[in-house]
Amino acid sequence: MKTVKGNAERVIHMLHADNELIRNLLLKGNFGLEKESLRVCEDGFFAHSDHPFLEDEHIVRDFCENQTEINTPVFENAREAVDCLEQYNRIIEKRLSELPEREYLWPFSNPPYIRNEEDIPIAKFYGGNSSKTVYREYLSDRYGRYKMTFSGIHVNYSFGEELLLEDFKLSGEKDFKEYRNNLYVELAKKAAMYGWIMVAVTAASPLMDASFVEKKMYDVDNFNGMASTRCSELGYWNFFSPIFDYTDIGAYADSIKGYVDEGLIRYPSELYYPVRLKPTGENNLETLKKNGVNHIELRMFDLNPLAEEGVEVKDIIFAQLFLVWLAGTAAVEITPKDQIHAVQNFKNAAHYDLKTVKIIHPSGKVESVADAALEILENMKLFYRDFPEEIKEVLNFEEDKFINPENRYAWRIRREYNDGFVKKGMKLAKERQNRKIGNDI
C-alpha cells in the first residue's frame, strides 16, 4: 500500500508484485468465458427457428433469438475455459445438425447476409423473464438491430483468493472486502486507460457483406479500413463518452447510475464500455455496492475464425498477464479529458493499420498504436522477467502482431476470406460442424 498527497491522503491500491510470496501467487486466478455466435442456414442467411437450447443454463441467447451465447463455468486456467467452450460448441453443433432445417454457427463477429431488420428477431422471453424482451425492444428502437448482430467473446477474470488474502496482509488495510473492491476499481481505471491493446491483439473482423450497409446488396465484400468493426467508431457504442468516478466502488456505481438518472441510458447494462466490474450475486448496481466486486470483464474480443473454438488460448492468457501486470503497477491519475481520450483510444486500436492511428496517453504523449503497444509489451516482459518460458512465449506471440502486422488476425482473415466473404465463411462453418459432430458427446 502506498499513499499520495492531495486534498486528502489517499491510498493507492496495487499488488505487491515484488514480494516473493505474492509473486509466486500472481497467476493464480479464475476464468469464465462468454461466446456469442449467430445461427445461420445453409444459404448464409439468419436462421429463424426458436432457440433450441432452453434446457441448458450455459447456452443462452443474447440480443436476438438466433444469437446463441455460451456462458462457461469458472475455471482456474485459460486452457480449461477454452476446452469447456469446445465441449459446448460440440453440443450446439450436434443439435443444429439434427434440426429439420440444418443450421450452423457463423464463425465471424461480423454478420453474414441480412435482408432487413425482420431478419433479426428479438429474443423471446416469457413470464417472469418477459422484461428481457422489453429491454431488447427498447435497444432495437434506440440503436437499430443491425449492430446487435455483432458477436464476440467476453473474458471474465478474478484474482485467486489466496493471492488476495496474502496481499491484503501486506496492504495495511483493515477490511478485506474494502481492500478487494479498491483493488478492482483501480484495475478498472487502468484497464480503461490501456485496455485498447486488447482490441489491437484480438481484432479479427475486417470484412463484412455489403448487405449490412445497403439492402439487397449481397455477395459484395465490404472493407471499411477497420480490423474490428464492432470495436471501432462504426461499432456498438453509446451516444456519449462515459466518465466514471473511480474513488471507490460506491462512487463508481453511482457514476453509472447517474447516466440512468439523466436519461442518457435506461438501464446500467446499456452502458456499452469495454471494461466492466461485476459483483458477487445478481448483476446490478445495488448488488455491486452491497456485495462488492467479484471479477472484471473484458468485452472487446472478436470471434477469431482462425481458432477452432473462436478464441486463441494465448490471447486469454495474455488477458490475464495484462490484468495482473496492471494490478501490480502504480496508480494512474486520470481526468475527465483522459477518459474521453480513452474511449477514442479503444476505437483507434480497432483500425486495420495501427501505424497510422494514434494513442493519447494520460501523460499527453501521442504515438502510434503499434509503438504504444510495443512499449506496453516491453514493460510486461520486464515485469515477468523471471517467469516460466511459456509466459514469455505468449508475450512474444502478441509482440509479433505489431512487429509483423501481416500476422495479425485481421490481416490474415482479409487475405483468406476476401472475394467471397460469406460463401467462404459458410464453407468454414460447415467444415467446423462436420468436425464437431464426428466426435461423441
Instruction: Answer whether residue 9 shows pLDDT above 70.
Output: no
pLDDT at 8: 39
Instruction: Answer whether residue 332 shows pLDDT above 90.
Output: no
Instruction: Answer whether residue 305 shows pLDDT above 80.
Output: yes
Which stretches does DSSP call E strand in 260-381? 275-279, 293-302, 358-360, 366-368
Q: How far is CA 356 from CA 199, 231, 367, in A?
A: 16, 17, 9
Rg over CA atoms, the chain: 21
265 C-beta neighbours (distance < 10 Å), count: 20
Can you spell out the DSSP letters for 204-265? -B-EEEGGGTSTT--S-EEE-SBSBTTTSTTSS--SS------SSHHHHHHHHHHHHHTTS-
N-term to C-term CA, the chain? 49
Q: What is the pLDDT of residues 101-144, one digit of tens each?
A: 999 999 999 999 999 999 999 999 999 999 999 999 999 999 99
Q: Angle at CA 167, nearest 5°, toward 166 and 173?
A: 110
* Three cell numbers, residue 256: 453509472
Q: What is the pLDDT of residues 26-82, one digit of tens each?
A: 999 999 999 999 999 999 999 999 999 988 999 999 999 999 999 999 999 999 999
Domains of the chain: 2-437 (3.30.590.20)
pTM of the model: 0.95
pLDDT at 6: 37
Instruction: Answer whether residue 341 shows pLDDT above 90.
Output: yes
Instruction: Answer whether residue 250 shows pLDDT above 70.
Output: yes
Instruction: Answer whether residue 3 shows pLDDT above 50.
Output: no
Instruction: Answer whether residue 175 shows pLDDT above 90.
Output: yes
Q: How far is CA 58 from CA 15, 104, 303, 372, in A?
A: 33, 18, 18, 38
pLDDT at 440: 45
Tell me if 166 sits within 8 A of 25, measured CB to CB.
yes
Can you spell out the DSSP letters for 392-434? HHHHHHHHHHHHSGGGSHHHHHHHHH-SSHHHHHHHHHHHHHH
pLDDT at 331: 85
pLDDT at 11: 57
CA dist 69 and 63 (Å) reads 10
78 C-beta neighbours (distance < 10 Å), count: 24
